[in-house]
Amino acid sequence: MSDLFALVRDVPDFPRPGILFKDLTPLFRDPGAFRALVVALAEPYRDARVDAVLGVEARGFILGAAVALHLGAGFVPARKPGKLPAKCDREGYSLEYGTDALELHLGSFGPGDRVLIIDDVIATGGTARAAVTLARRQHADLVGAAFAVELDFLRGRDLLPPDLAVTSLLHV
Ligand code: AMP
């Protein structure tokens, strides 16, 4: 796993001064590392009977779709406002670098749907919490939230419901 994360590139002062951006694109470029990351993200949920992965725009799409295929699950995108074409629900949140909102198509989930949230990085936790809120408003049964990288010092997991399984592969 440490070899894997040697491929994460730290980009200082992106997108704002003072933010150390964890850039996973070099890891995605490496076939073996990309596959190992996807398998490791999916592994804790292998027997969780996941119906759908909810991937958060934008790098959560890359990982989420691959994890969904690995688990034999479907994929649902949570997108930035104005990107999804059909009727949506919306939830706002604060970011490490600003504020934003996520949208989810209405009718994406129903009662009993077992859903796994995937994103590349959990920082302050606001994005993941918005995804949780959107999924639960549609009565999804959340089996967990999985991240490649968790920025421990921002305590993002404290924003997530205590009953939600949260798994991160690299803690920095
Ligand atoms: P947050 O809502 O603060 O947990 O931010 C998480 C979202 O913002 C994820 O979709 C990440 O891709 C992105 N993000 C926030 N901070 C960083 C960071 N330092 N490096 C890379 N991505 C980040």
β-strand pairing of 20-23 with 9-12: antiparallel
CATH of the domain at 63: 3.40.50.2020
User: 60 in a domain, yes or no?
Assistant: yes
Report the pLDDT value the prediction gives residue 117, as an integer from 0 to 100: 99
> What's the mean pLDDT when you consider all of the chain?
96
What single-letter amino acid sits at 130?
A
- DSSP bridge pairs for 21: 11
Task: Show the domain range for 148.
Answer: 48-171
**Average pLDDT value for residue range 57-62:** 98
Contact assessment for residue 90 and residue 83, using Cβ atoms and an 8 Å cutoff: no
Is 35 inside a domain boundary?
no
For 148, residues 6+ apart whose C-beta sits below 8 A from its C-beta are 24, 37, 41, 63, 120, 121, 168, 169, 170
Closest ligand 1 atom, CA of 20? Answer: 19
Q: List residues near ligand 1 (CB under 6 A).
A: 19-22, 56, 59, 95-96, 119-128, 151, 156
Question: Is the model's pLDDT at 73 over the cut of 70?
Answer: yes
Interval 80-115: pLDDT, tens: 999 999 999 999 998 766 789 999 999 999 999 999
At 95 the pLDDT is 76
Whether residue 31 is contained in a domain is answered as no
Q: Is residue 151 part of a domain?
A: yes
- Give the mean pLDDT of 48-57: 98
162 lies in some domain? yes
More confident residue, 122 or 94: 122
CA 152 to chain centre: 16
Number of continuous H segments (helices) and E segments (strands) in the chain: 5, 9
Q: How far does the centroid of ligand 1 lie from the alpha carbon of residue 120, in Å?
A: 8
Ligand 1, atom 16, lies closest to the CA of 123
What is the Rg, in whole angstroms, of the alpha carbon atoms belonging to the chain? 15
Question: How remote is the CA of residue 121 from the centroid of ligand 1, in Å?
Answer: 5
Asked whether residue 100 is assigned to any structural domain, the reply reads yes
Q: In the prediction, which pLDDT does 99 show? A: 84
Tell which residue, 140, 72, 129, 74, has the closest CA to residue 106. 140
- The residues carrying an active-site annotation are 59, 96
pLDDT for residue 3 is more than 90: no
- Is residue 127 included in any domain, yes or no? yes
d(CA 165, CA 15): 29
Ligand 1 geometric centre to CA of 123 (Å): 5
Does residue 12 register a pLDDT over 90?
A: yes
